[in-house]
Structure 1
Amino acid sequence: MQHQGKLGRISAHALLAAAALIMAFPFYWMATSALKTNDEIWRFPPTLWPQSPLWSNFADAWNAAPFARYMLNSIVVAGVIVVLQIINSGMMAYALTHMAFRLKGALTSLILVGYMIPVTAVYLPGYIVLSRLGLLDSYGGLILSNCVSIFSIFLIRQAFLQVSHELVEAGQIDGASHFRILWTILFPLARSSFAVLALITFIEQYNNYFWPMLITKNPDLQLVSAGLRSFFVEGGAYGLKWPLIMAASAFTIVPLLALFLLTQKTIMQSVNLSAGASKG
């Protein structure tokens, strides 16, 4: 029986390792293609490593377009949106879970219904609102139009539902304000959910393409996705400079990898705690 259990664990680890390799291979292929020549990329059968790695391709790609500006724009816009969504979703989720007011159920239902509305359905009204506010083609328009998310509210609401209401009542008895209860009691208990929210939101906004392209025309405001598209098509790289395209794609995902490394410990602690609670 013990032997079967050990064999099962080995099989599970082998399957997980195989799945991890399959998911990581596209990133490996992208990074190694950045070190090849154009002919090596199209060679058949393909090679897993270039004969003579061309590390200069990364520098050439970096200098071929203003990627520093593209990445800075994306990091700043995505970072501000993450902070605003954490604040907004935290306050809204607190109101929906630990405050009593009229039409609370109706408001919760309305939010859940809003979660089912396709994002593209609000593009036109959102564009009109930003136009009337004079926020088209600006950082303010990019940030304001994404500072509230139904998904974020729903995610944090589910996390706050797991917190005992008695803790909130104890804080109220001690004279703590709603804001103090939210940020000193609920936020630490749900920090793993906030970490997941930050990671998902940053990745989504960093890679956002269609909406920023719709409301911004100034090249100086372009985000990474739009910048890569410009380099791929308008810069004459289409079909001609695949190593540089792969190099640009590789170094533009570095901020996402860095954010994942910063948040993975908190996320994994949450998973372990949830698993322990389930077993208990």
Structure 2
Amino acid sequence: MRETALWVRPLRHLFLTALCSLIAFPFFWMITSSLKTNDEIWSVPPVLWPEEPLWGTFLAAWQAAPFGQYLLNSIMVAAVIVLLQMVNSAMMAYALTHMHFPFRGALFAIIIVTYMLPASATYLPAYVILSELNLIDTYAGLIISNAVSVFAIFLVRQAFLQLPKELAEAAKIDGAPHWRILWTIMVPLTRSTFVVMGLITFIGMYNNYFWPSLITKSPELYLVSAGLRSFFVEGGAYGMNWPLIMAGSTITILPLLILFLFAQRLLMKGVSLSFGVNK
């Protein structure tokens, strides 16, 4: 058994290394392709690293399109949506777990059922509502339409259910109102769940393409996905200038890579605590 255990760990590490390399290879190919020429990108056999890296491609891509504006738009919209979803999901989850009112179970069932609906089924009614409110082609419409997340409500509710109910009951006996119990007891004790939810939501909103492209038409309101598509069509010459396209793609994912590097430890800790993963 001991000899078998000695072989298991190296094999497991080897498998995980191969899996990580497989996942990371597209990013490596994208970054290196931005340093190649078109001929090197399409050469057979493939060239992993160019003979003379064209570092100026990044500057050319930055100057060819307003990527700074796209990044600022996406980061601002995603950050505001994360904040609103945190507040809304915390209040809804607290109501579903620590407040007693008629049809509480039915309300949660309805919330879960709405999560089963495909997102595309909600686009038409949501578009009509935003149009009636004159929120088409505005950041307000984009933010309000994403202010509530069923997944976030479910995730925070599960985290609140893991806390001892005696904490909230003791606070109620001491005369603490619901808002104080929520923001001074429940939220701090489940902050790892909020970290996970915030990162998942931020990445999802940052990369969101279809819904923002439906309700925002002005180029100055483009998020990175719509901006990158516009650059593909215009600056990328419909896919003819691949080094420039790869450089633009690298620029757009750079904030997410930086975010992951700084938040990976919090993310791993939050995932293990939220979903009960043990070492």
Q: TM-score, normalising length from structure 1? A: 0.95
Equivalent position of 2:159 in the other structure: 159
In structure 2, distance between residues paired with 1:229 and 1:276 = 40
The answer to whether the aligner puts 1:61 opposite 2:65 as a matched pair is no
In structure 2, distance between residues paired with 1:259 and 1:203 = 9
Shift of 1:277: 7.8
Identity of counterpart residues, as a percentage? 62
Shift of 1:101: 1.1
Which of structure 1's runs of 4+ aligned residues deviate more than 3 A? 270-279
In structure 1, distance between residues paired with 2:125 and 2:26 = 38
Q: In 2, are the aligned partners of 1:60 and 1:244 still within 8 Å (CA)?
A: yes
Shift of 1:219: 0.7
User: 1:15 corresponds to which letter in structure 2?
Assistant: F
Shift of 1:160: 1.1
Please give the residue correspondences for 1:87-166 in structure 2 after superposition, counting only pairs within 5 Å. Answer: 87-166=87-166
| Residues 182-205 of structure 1: per-residue CA shift (max 9 Å, x gap) | 122111221121111111111111
Equivalent position of 2:47 in the other structure: 47
SS in 2 for 1:253: helix
User: 2:92 corresponds to which letter in structure 1?
Assistant: M
User: 1:144 corresponds to which letter in structure 2?
Assistant: I
Q: CA RMSD in A?
A: 1.7
In structure 2, distance between residues paired with 1:186 and 1:229 = 42
Equivalent position of 1:179 in the other structure: 179
| Residues 40-74 of structure 1: per-residue CA shift (max 9 Å, x gap) | 10111011111001110000001000111011111
User: 2:72 corresponds to which letter in structure 1?
Assistant: L
User: 1:170 corresponds to which letter in structure 2?
Assistant: A
Equivalent position of 1:222 in the other structure: 222
Equivalent position of 2:233 in the other structure: 233
Q: In 1, are the aligned partners of 2:271 and 2:277 still within 8 Å (CA)?
A: no
Shift of 1:273: 5.1
Shift of 1:264: 1.8
Q: In 2, are the aligned partners of 1:137 and 1:218 still within 8 Å (CA)?
A: yes
Are the structure 2 counterparts of residues 68 and 171 from structure 1 closer, same or farther at C-alpha, using a change threshold of 3 Å?
same
Shift of 1:256: 1.1
In structure 1, distance between residues paired with 2:137 and 2:274 = 44
Are the structure 2 counterparts of residues 272 and 154 from structure 1 closer, same or farther at C-alpha, using a change threshold of 3 Å?
closer
Q: TM-score, normalising length from structure 2? A: 0.95
In structure 2, distance between residues paired with 1:214 and 1:275 = 35
Structure 1's unaligned 5+ residue stretches are none
Equivalent position of 1:248 in the other structure: 248
In structure 1, distance between residues paired with 2:192 and 2:237 = 42
Shift of 1:269: 2.4
Shift of 1:237: 2.3
User: 1:32 corresponds to which letter in structure 2?
Assistant: T
Q: In 2, are the aligned partners of 1:115 and 1:150 still within 8 Å (CA)?
A: yes
Are the structure 2 counterparts of residues 272 and 123 from structure 1 closer, same or farther at C-alpha, using a change threshold of 3 Å?
closer
Shift of 1:251: 1.4
Q: In 2, are the aligned partners of 1:237 and 1:245 still within 8 Å (CA)?
A: no
Q: Bigger shift: 23-32 or 96-105?
A: 96-105
Shift of 1:268: 2.2
Equivalent position of 2:11 in the other structure: 11
Q: In 2, are the aligned partners of 1:38 and 1:241 still within 8 Å (CA)?
A: yes
Shift of 1:102: 1.1
Are the structure 2 counterparts of residues 229 and 180 from structure 1 closer, same or farther at C-alpha, using a change threshold of 3 Å?
same
In structure 1, distance between residues paired with 2:275 and 2:176 = 32
In structure 2, distance between residues paired with 1:152 and 1:257 = 23
User: 1:218 corresponds to which letter in structure 2?
Assistant: S
In structure 2, distance between residues paired with 1:79 and 1:249 = 21
Are the structure 2 counterparts of residues 274 and 207 from structure 1 closer, same or farther at C-alpha, using a change threshold of 3 Å?
closer
In structure 2, distance between residues paired with 1:177 and 1:52 = 66
